Amino acid sequence: MSLPSDFLWGFATASYQIEGAAEADGRGPSIWDTFCAIPGKIADGSSGAVACDSYNRTKEDIDLLKSLGATAYRFSLSWSRIIPLGGRNDPINQKGLDHYAKFVDDLLEAGIEPFITLFHWDLPDGLDKRYGGLLNREEFPLDFENYARVVFKAIPKCKHWITFNEPWCSSILGYNTGFFAPGHTSDRSRSAVGDSTREPWIAGHNILVAHGRAVKAYRDDFKPQSDGGEIGITLNGDATYPWDPEDPADVEACDRKIEFAISWFADPIYFGHYPESMLKQLGDRLPTFTPEEVALVKGSNDFYGMNHYTANYIKHKTGPPPEDDFLGNLETLFYNKAGDCIGPETQSFWLRPHAQGFRDLLGWLSKRYGYPKLYVTENGTSLKGENDMPLDKIVEDDFRVKYFNDYVNAMAKASSEDGVNVKGYLAWSLMDNFEWAEGYETRFGVTYVDYEHDQKRHPKKSAKSLKPLFDSLIKKD
């Protein structure tokens, strides 16, 4: 059981979750700044205004990465720090651009390979107000392409680019349930605007086209000079098992759940069209690709970025699905018909560890998409009650150590026994941070951040567990 000799490993973060410095050096507001200001949207009433203060602590973060032995670091850029108003005719903020260019230089000097995500949910608020942001099929892809070009030109030393992080979350949580910015939903008790039956599918479509435009720009004008540069998208999804393995409808629903979560975006990229199961359920609510859009989107992945955390038992539903259904007319459960539990509780209501599911999903995706080069761009866990423990208990996070050990070993088996072409693993997350709608109550970091005492970092046991783990699994040349 082993991983390839050129395997990269490290940690992942996102700009709005760690940077803070929300108004420093010309940064404009993002939809998350606006969303956090609405009472009741964030569990503890907090925001990313200060977060981990990483904007001012890049040296400290790089020293932390070095001390843990990481060979790669995935982080995202704040679009509104680079183009405060967001648009292709709006001014560029050179200070923001210079900050990220220097950060990449410093990472490389430390021997750490940067993976840059262009969009991790924090759309410039100016674009949302100007034309509806992700819902605008004409303007959004052009503005995203322009932003991507500005960054590609300014940071030529980065070899690994991710266009969008988890477009499922931007689309469903932003435009169906309304739990994430900009908070659109048909539920009028939660939002004055939104159509949960149509808007998420429009947003998802426009993200795919914007992704395609950015990839074409990179391949045409930047990749030839990049000495091996690559670009892809990161998609999220859970492993699935039938609630009743004897029921063919439950078995079928397992694939449908993955199709509604992952293949919604991956099928157009690899095959040029949406999954049949989605077309069947959604009909004309799913936008149709024009021939020009197909040409942009199909084949637009140099690698597959995979975010994965958990697994579910899947039970099919009978009868027509409600119009706002986004799962595929099914239930996701933690117990199966026999009463087996999928995994232990965590602080996150949606997350139960089940490492075999990771291996199984790696195999499922590889088979469906022709065994592409694959990076695991996020994987990790919260711990039940961690935020309420004393520091000496928090840093002894044996639950997280076991999670990483089990999941990384499952990935190594997928690599050495199942033919999965996995080339990197980026644990979520380098440090505790602003956990979106859950605020600071949920911690995913391998490093404890003491928000009350100057954002001081304290590496946990899990932080130090990954280097020996990868050293034991990566083949030596």
Q: Which positions are catalytic?
A: 166, 378
* Strands annotated E in 77-210: 113-119, 160-165
Return the closest-CA partner of residue 156 out of 208, 108, 120, 123: 108
What is the maximum alpha-carbon separation in the chain? 60
DSSP 184-207: --S-TTT-SS--TTTHHHHHHHHH
- Grouping H, G, I as helix, E, B as strand and the rest as coil, residue 425 is strand
Q: Per the structure block, which two tokens stand in for 65?
A: 């990465």
Return the closest-CA partner of residue 380 out of 273, 281, 304, 462: 462
Decide: 42 and 104 in contact? Cβ < 8 Å: no
Buried b (16+ CB within 10 A) or exposed e, 241-276: bbbbeeeeebbbbbbbbbbbbbbbbbbbbbbeebbe
Return the closest-CA partner of residue 328 out of 379, 256, 270, 242: 256
Distant-in-sequence, close-in-space partners of 273: CB < 8 Å, separation ≥ 6:
267, 289, 294
Return the closest-CA partner of residue 118 out of 82, 168, 94, 92: 82
Q: Which helix H or strand E contains 358, and what residues bound it?
A: helix 355-368
Q: Which residue has the tokens 């089990």?
A: 406
